[in-house]
Amino acid sequence: MDTRPILTLKPGREKPVLLRHPWLFASGIDRLSSPPAPGETIQVNSSRGECLGWAAFSPASQIRARFWSFSPTDVIDRAFLHSRLQRAIQLRQRTIPPTETDAVRLVHAESDGLPGLIVDRYGSTLVMQCLSAGIEYWKETLADLLLECTGLSDILERSDADVRSLEGLPERIGPLRGQPAEQVTITENGIKYKVDLVKGHKTGFYLDQRPNRACLGQYAADKEILNCFSFTGGFTLSALAHQAKSVISIDSSGDALALAQENLILNQLPAEKAEWIEGDVFQLLRTYRDQNRRFDLIVLDPPKFAPTVAQAERASRGYKDINLLAFKLLRPGGLLFTFSCSGGISADLFQKIVAGAALDAGVDARIIAHLGQGSDHPTALNFPEGTYLKGLICAI
């Protein structure tokens, strides 16, 4: 057994640990045998002194420790991390055919047993996001292991997500191994997308929407489509590649729209069927309502309105607003593809918000499909927070 600083839980605070939830909150801690360094591995004991597992200590965060393992006999070392990485990478190899895409999330943090680590592969470039003190502590080892496990040589670090500040970590963007490209072209379901790995949102692209972009394609033929929050044209290109009649794409980011238009050309899709609008979706939906515009299919894929439950109420109003307006803009027989990627909004609550929006819009709507994040964004059953992307296709 490893000898490490020992964290002892308060009496009665063992339950989430016994259910194998990977987060240990500061409020549940009784004492520490010695002060661990940020990210250092600690032994976690029950109030009665039994070893419950091993975790990475994070002094700045309310999530004071994140479990690596619930097995007292495990040792958290290079070999342990290697096996976790291998397991994650092999899951993708088993479940995602290379013909589907060359851009895949290889590691989905807590859900792959590596709390705080995101690794996305874009062609031959890896993008790594370190979101916890524990991952920061093992960063160099993890980078070496990633090259070993994938046979690739370039890693870009995109440790610029807001949650890093909660862990007391500074932002860092830059090469970690080799000479990673700043812009790459990926191919997803036969469609090429240029991705800006340095400036693009998240690690460059919304990989989680892959199955839903493909799904939209099935419904797109001959439709007049409005794609709200289009980013670099994910849903737009899929629709045009599947013979949509026209697509209006709205996003507030001029850079994203410029890349979207390059992507259109790259795929030799008909530019005359695409209209790009740099603007605010909340305002434009109102303008279209006032102009009595109508569409056959509307996509709503807004950014995270509620990162945590604390913002749920305000976020609910935002979702209600855009969904209500979208329902009003649909022709009879129209389809709404509506999403929420907010961790603070449950699937149940999201469905209730959309139901309220349909009611207030005066439309009779039914859900014809529930959508979610792609299989390379799995959810560990002991970590329900891993499911964050919720989508509904509603037919009116």
Contact residues: ligand SAH, CB under 6 A = 206, 209, 213, 229-232, 234-235, 250-253, 256, 280-282, 301-303
Question: Between 126 and 260, whose beta carbon lies closer to ligand SAH?
Answer: 260
Smallest distance, ligand SAH to C-beta of residue 374, A = 11
Closest by alpha carbon to 3, among 28, 39, 40? 40
Q: What is the distance between the alpha carbons of residues 305 and 313, in angstroms, rounded to a whole number?
A: 10
Question: Between 135 and 389, whose beta carbon lies closer to ligand SAH?
Answer: 389
Smallest distance, ligand SAH to C-beta of residue 33, A = 45
Question: Between 64 and 390, whose beta carbon lies closer to ligand SAH?
Answer: 390
Question: Between 135 and 281, whose beta carbon lies closer to ligand SAH?
Answer: 281
Alpha helix (H) residue ranges in the chain: 15-18, 78-95, 133-137, 139-150, 163-166, 210-219, 234-241, 254-266, 281-290, 312-329, 347-361
Closest chain position to ligand SAH (CB): 234
Question: Between 130 and 300, whose beta carbon lies closer to ligand SAH?
Answer: 300
Smallest distance, ligand SAH to C-beta of residue 138, A = 30
CA angle 123, 242, 95 (to 5 degrees): 40
Cβ atoms of residues 227 and 250 within 8 Å = yes
Q: What is the distance between the alpha carbons of residues 92 and 357, in angstroms, rounded to a whole number?
A: 37
Smallest distance, ligand SAH to C-beta of residue 338, A = 12
Contacts with 97 (C-beta within 8 Å, 6 or more apart), sequence order: none
Contacts with 158 (C-beta within 8 Å, 6 or more apart), sequence order: 127, 128, 129, 173, 197, 198, 202, 203, 204
Q: Which residues are catalytic?
A: 341
Cβ atoms of residues 21 and 383 within 8 Å = yes
